[in-house]
Each structure stands twice: as C-alpha cells, then as structure tokens.
C-alpha cells in the first residue's frame, strides 16, 4: 500500500477555479445548471450507522453539529428518489464504492502522464459530469448556518493519502480547457483549495489501481465572529467492484509518512501542489480515449459548462450581513 502523510505546515490557499462539466465516457450524463443547483435544508439530519454509497449524488462539506464545526458527507439520496430523505453522514461510517462501471483506459499519449498510469492500463474515474452508474462525488459550502457563519469561504485541503495506487483530483472548464489539478496523492505537502461560500462543485477523481483508499481532508474557515474552525476527517473509498466495502470500513488510518519518500512524486519538491507543471498544458483526462482532435466536434454538443460559484447567492448572504450590521 502506498502511504503518504503530508507535512503539517499550511500552504497559502489557492483560489478554487470555476468548475465545469468535462468530456467523459460516452455513457456519462451531462451535468446541467439544474444538476448543480441545490438548496440545503438547515434542519437536515445528521445520522449515524454504516452506509455504502455506490451511485447517486454525494457531496462533502462542513456543518455545525451541536455547535461544533464538522466535515461531513451529504448523502443526497432524495435527488434520485423523491420518497427518500437526504441526510448528512459521518465520514468514518461511510464508504464511497467506485464500481467497475467507472473503469476507462489510459490512451498511449504522454499528455496523460500526470495521472500516473501506464498507457493501456485501466483507471477508475468518478467523473466531473455525472455518470448515472457511478457515485457522483463533489463538495459544497451550502449549509445555511455555515453560509451565515463563515467569512467568505473555506480552505479544503488534502493532507494525507493511503492506497494501492495514485489518486488525482482535477477540474476542467469546457472541452478545450486545461485540466487544473487540485490534489495529487503523490505530492508530499498539503494541497489547499479555496471554496467560496454557497459553492457546489464536482471534479474528476481518478484512481490508478483497485483497492481501499483513505484520503485525509481538512476543512478550515475563518468565521465572521473572528474565530477560526477546522475539522480533519478520513474519507473512505473502495475502488473496483471486487473490492469489498467492508475492507474500507475496517481500514485504519496510519499516515505516518514512512513510505512517502519512496513513493512520492519527484515533482513535489519543486512545483506548486495545486497545479503541477506537467499537468498545466495537458489535454483532458484519459476518458477521452483516442485522438481528441478527431472526436472533439462530435462531443462538444454534449458539453455543458457548469458554473459552480454561487456568486449571486453569495452576494445575497453578504448583503444580509450588511443589513444586520446596519440594524
């Protein structure tokens, strides 16, 4: 198992780039503005008990639980089933099962080297645009109490990773935008992304090997009262249909950094953690399979650029604060 424990020193928060739906496998459903539009109920319950999520809409995000800042998983089961109830879940009691419906092949093109997978090898992809047969993982800062409490946004950081292969998380704007790498499990320092208030984002999550992965994520924010809050949680993945979710439940986080030096990406010491230089000019993720130039025109019709900054709603939140202060 590859194990990386990042340094504890904080890095400057990089502004989170506008997320957009990417070109994905032909079976993937395109995300639309409606898909990313959501309003969270301030009374949405936080429930305990083990739960495996293998399809449907899922977000990670902060919420206050009994006055305590917590980083939780929003199980949005009601999005697909009107008779179901969406809830918040605890990360240590939740497994994201990335089944083989997510499997794609890396093309023989050096442009895809940033994924850390050999040409022709399979990868497991949680896509930025929804594939109805695969869990659709993103993050949000839309809990009503969170929106009223945080000072403009949060810093969401990958601070550690364990697993049999490499995990890469990146955004892509439109059909010809450069992939913007947010997190790479080979990088040996914390990788911070800035997330505005009232934001709902989905990204591409690429896993190079099946098995159990543990990702340590930290959500930190400055509050309008001048205080700072932070919560670190381990998010559990069972990648591949043959990987039992029970193994992910049983896995113990050990991120001590013992294997980091041997397995770390050699780029990490000299390049920014958020966007490695090699990835900056690369074309889209491996799921484009084959010559992108040949198929691009046919695929453009299926591309929907999903703007994820909730600027209008954010302005409303800030305006409300101004009125309250004036009162």
Lowest mean pLDDT among 2-16, 79-93, 305-319: 2-16
d(CA 248, CA 185): 18
CB 60 within 8 A of CB 73: yes
% of the chain residues with pLDDT over 70: 66
Is pTM beyond 0.95 here? Answer: no
Average pLDDT score, the chain: 76
188-202: average pLDDT: 96
Could you tell me the residue range of the domain that residue 272 belongs to?
2-326
300 to 138, 180, 280, 288, 295: CA distances (angstroms): 23, 19, 21, 12, 9
Owner of token pair 């509050």: 223
Instruction: State residue 82's pLDDT score.
Output: 85
% of the chain residues with pLDDT over 90: 56
42-59: average pLDDT: 95
What token pair was written down for 79? Answer: 């999005």
> In total, how many domains does the chain have?
1
Q: Name the pLDDT band for 221 (thresholds 50, 70, 90).
A: very high
The 10s digit of each residue's pLDDT in 222-271 is 999 999 999 999 999 999 999 999 999 999 999 743 233 333 443 333 23
CB 169 within 8 A of CB 98: no
- Report whether pLDDT(4) > 90: no
Q: Which residue has the higher pLDDT, 321 or 195?
A: 195
d(CA 248, CA 313): 37
- Report whether pLDDT(159) > 70: yes
The 10s digit of each residue's pLDDT in 23-49 is 333 222 233 444 678 888 888 999 999
Rg (the chain; Cα; Å): 19
- Report whether pLDDT(212) > 80: yes
């Amino acid at each position: 198992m590859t194990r990386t424990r990042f340094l504890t020193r904080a890095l400057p928060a990089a502004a989170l780039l506008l997320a957009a739906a990417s070109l994905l496998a032909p079976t993937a459903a395109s995300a639309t503005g409606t898909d990313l539009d959501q309003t969270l109920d301030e009374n949405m319950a936080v429930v305990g008990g083990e739960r495996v999520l293998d399809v449907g809409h899922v977000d990670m995000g902060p919420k206050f639980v009994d006055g305590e800042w917590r980083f939780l998983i929003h199980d949005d089961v009601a999005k697909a089933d009107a008779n179901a109830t969406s809830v918040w879940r605890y990360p240590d009691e939740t497994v994201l099962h990335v089944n083989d419906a997510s499997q794609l092949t890396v093309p023989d093109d050096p442009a895809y080297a940033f994924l850390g997978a050999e040409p022709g090898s399979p990868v497991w992809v949680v896509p930025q645009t929804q594939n109805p047969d695969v869990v659709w993982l993103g993050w949000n800062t839309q809990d009503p109490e969170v929106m009223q409490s945080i000072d403009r946004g949060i810093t969401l950081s990958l601070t550690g990773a364990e697993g049999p292969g490499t995990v890469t998380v990146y955004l892509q704007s439109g059909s010809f935008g450069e992939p913007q790498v947010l997190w790479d499990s080979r990088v040996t320092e914390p990788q911070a992304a800035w997330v505005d208030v009232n934001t709902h984002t989905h990204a591409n999550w690429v896993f190079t090997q099946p098995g159990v992965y543990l990702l340590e994520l930290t959500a930190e924010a400055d509050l309008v009262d001048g205080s700072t809050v932070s919560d670190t949680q381990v998010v559990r993945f069972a990648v591949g249909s043959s990987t039992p979710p029970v193994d992910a439940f049983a896995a113990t986080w050990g991120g001590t950094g013992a294997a980091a030096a041997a397995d770390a990406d050699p780029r990490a010491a000299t390049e920014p953690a958020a966007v490695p230089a090699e990835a900056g000019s690369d074309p889209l993720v491996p799921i484009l399979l084959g010559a992108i130039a040949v198929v691009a025109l046919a695929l453009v019709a299926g591309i929907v650029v999903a703007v994820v900054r909730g600027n209008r709603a954010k302005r409303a939140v800030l305006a409300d604060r101004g009125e309250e202060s004036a009162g």
